[in-house]
Amino acid sequence: MSVAITKKDHVLTITLDRPDQLNAIDPETRAGLVEAWRSFREDDDAWVAILTGRGEKAFCVGSDLKKTMPPDGSFAATHFSAAGGDELWRPLQNLWKPVIAAINGYAFGGGLELALACDLRIASTNAVFAQSEVRVGSMVGAGGAIRLMRVAPPAVAMKMLLTGDRVSAEEAYRIGLVSDLCQPHELMAKAEEIAEQICRNAPLAVRATKMAAVLGQSMPVDQGLEVERLLWGLLRNTEDRIEGRRAFAEKRAPNWRGA
């Protein structure tokens, strides 16, 4: 299998497993990722996911150009199909469970778009980033332009998009493309540490907070505040919120149930 899925406690780890091909996405990998997102979404006991690539050379270099030539059918037929031609990234759009990208080595083209679709990005010091589609006569088509312009400073993002130039891990950290930088051998331990830190919080509260933050980005402030308030109201009488207060009063760790 070109995608490996493992689970420890409440953390699901999804690993692109084609290190000899720099974890490029071929049809089998695409299908494996789609299944991984479905598994994560439907598993109530999985609270956080980590996405990474096997080996230290590459997180993912995007599509395997040798195996992903343009399809025979029309774009319209693909676009208006059930999957919409974007089944690889679309599941992340309305997934309110947190996803962490642990970026080791190259994150190029669709690989960077995949990382940008995650909530948190941490990188090893040997990571390299590029939105390189223009160099092979194509363009970003899975959120690269939209998300990169929102994550990185606009001037830097535009330069990356139009030139396809590479950005080092240090520069990615400086501009806020990634939140944490660590040595390659420490990357997964750091990702797991962050995932476990999130899992120590109430899962419904985490998801509601992510929803408020994500939806609020595309709303005027007054509408965003209203959504935040409504989500707070949804949580107000949950068992976990009551448990959180009891645990605080009793000076013990809370026992979250996701209810």
Q: What is the pLDDT of residues 36-68, one digit of tens each?
A: 999 999 999 999 999 999 998 999 998 876 656
- Find out whether 29 and 61 touch, Cβ atoms under 8 Å: no
pLDDT at residue 144 above 90? Answer: no
- Average pLDDT in the 173-199 region? 97
133 is catalytic: yes
pLDDT of residue 63: 83
Confidence class of residue 136 from pLDDT cuts 50, 70 and 90? confident
pLDDT at residue 83 above 80? Answer: no
186 is catalytic: no
Euclidean distance between CA atoms 46 and 78, whole angstroms? 31
Max Cα distance, the chain (Å): 64
- Average pLDDT in the 150-175 region? 95
Euclidean distance between CA atoms 180 and 187, whole angstroms? 9
Enumerate domains of the chain plus CATH numbers: 3-199 (3.90.226.10), 203-250 (1.10.12)
pLDDT of residue 141: 76
Q: Catalytic: which of 87, 113, 192, 196?
A: 113
pLDDT of residue 143: 83
The mean pLDDT of the chain is: 90
User: Please, which residues have CB within 8 angstroms of residue 120's CB and are 6 or more apart in sequence?
Assistant: 98, 99, 100, 101, 179, 194
* CA-based nearest residue to 191, from 5, 55, 50: 50
pLDDT of residue 190: 98
pLDDT of residue 129: 97
Euclidean distance between CA atoms 39 and 35, whole angstroms? 6
- Average pLDDT in the 142-166 region? 92
Q: Catalytic: which of 35, 133, 186, 250?
A: 133
94's tokens? 């309305």
- Average pLDDT in the 94-123 region? 95
pLDDT at residue 77 above 80? Answer: no
pLDDT of residue 197: 97
pLDDT digits (tens, 9 = 90+) for 178-187: 999 999 999 9
pLDDT of residue 66: 67
Q: How many percent of the chain have pLDDT more than 90? A: 78
pLDDT of residue 86: 58
